[in-house]
Amino acid sequence: MRMHLKPEATGTGLTSQRVRDRLVERLRANGIADERVLNAIRTVPRHLFVDEVLGTRAYEDTALPIGHGQTISQPWVVARMTEALLQAGPKKVLEVGTGSGYQAAVLAALGLEVHTVERIGELLRIARKRFRQLGITVRSKHDDGRAGWPENGPFDAIIVTAAAPALVDALKAQLVPGGVLVAPVGPSAGQSLLQLRHEFDGRFEEQVLAPVVFVPLLSGTVD
Ligand code: SAH
């Protein structure tokens, strides 16, 4: 793993390595099989991506609030989406919805070139600070990610971490042939996690991975 983490990332008590290992074993028991993904989850200190008062809950397999009505996704969902993305054998990845920065950090820990877009300026500022403190390289911008990041595209894989009623065409257009897009699609009450593969003949092959519940993909930006 490429990450060289600072000492505070090691954790103590309820954020210790033993507690993290327990989360990894739970993910394994729940069907996450890719050792690269399990290793990344083991390495990235999730407790540093939530408010300090929630730090002791960071290695439970649950989503947690990060302010502005948003959440850091449940570890199993992060792991499942990451597994799906790796099927494209990607180098360059786009994430829509940086949020806490945790998913982006997991992708960076896998050695991927990560580009991430967040519409809430304050969340992005906090995420960037975490990337800096942990020595993680992630390219990020404050924008409406429904437009993707055309100047930096195309991407080998795209991960959308907020829910929309339908797949966004602008994102599909920034996916290389052979690339994979993973996104929660459906009504706000609950969605299907879709994996979309851009076939070499131009078609998009769709597969439903799991039922999920994400916060909504919204338009425009806020400070
Ligand atoms: N991947 C995040 C999950 C954050 S929740 C993590 O690991 O913590 C979803 C995030 O998507 C929120 O921060 C929300 O502000 C953001 N979001 C919603 N609509 C967006 C859009 N159109 N463009 C960019 N980000 C968006």
Q: Domain of 93: which CATH number? A: 3.40.50.150
Name the CA dihedral angle for 98, 78, 208, 199, rounded to a multiple of 10 degrees.
70
C-alpha 140 to ligand 1 mean position (Å): 12
219 within some domain: no
Domain count, the chain: 1
Among protein residues, the one whose CA lies closest to atom 16 of ligand 1: 97
Among protein residues, the one whose CA lies closest to atom 19 of ligand 1: 217
**Is the distance from CB of 50 to CB of 105 less than 8 angstroms?**
no
| Whole-number pLDDT of residue 6 | 61
**Is the distance from CB of 77 to CB of 127 less than 8 angstroms?**
no
Question: Which of ligand 1's atoms lies nearest the C-alpha of 100?
Answer: 8
Give me the phi and psi of 112, to 5 degrees please.
-85, 155
pLDDT of residue 8 exceeding 80, the answer is no
Helix (H) or strand (E) holding 30: none
35 within some domain: no
Among protein residues, the one whose CA lies closest to atom 14 of ligand 1: 97
Q: How many CA atoms lie within 13 A of 5 on its CB side?
A: 18
Residues marked active site are found at 73
1 within some domain: no
DSSP 178-200: EEEEEEEES-TT-EEEEEEEE-T
* Ligand 1 contact via 116 beta carbon (within 6 Å): no
* pLDDT over 90 percentage in the chain: 92
| Structure tokens belonging to residue 4 | 């060289």
Helical spans, DSSP H, in 67-190: 75-86, 102-109, 121-134, 169-172
Query: Burial level of 112, CB count in 10 A (0-12/13-18/19+)?
Result: buried
C-alpha 163 to ligand 1 mean position (Å): 9
Q: 3 falls in which pLDDT band (50, 70, 90)?
A: low
Q: Best substitution site from 100, 119, 140 to test ligand 1's pocket, by max atoms within 8 Å of Cβ?
A: 119
pLDDT 10s digits, 33-92? 999 999 999 999 999 999 999 999 999 999 999 999 999 999 999 999 999 999 999 999
pLDDT of residue 9 exceeding 90, the answer is no
20 within some domain: no
Identity of residue 214 = F
pLDDT 10s digits, 15-33? 788 999 999 999 999 999 9
* Ligand 1 contact via 184 beta carbon (within 6 Å): no
Structural domain harbouring 182: 63-212
178 within some domain: yes
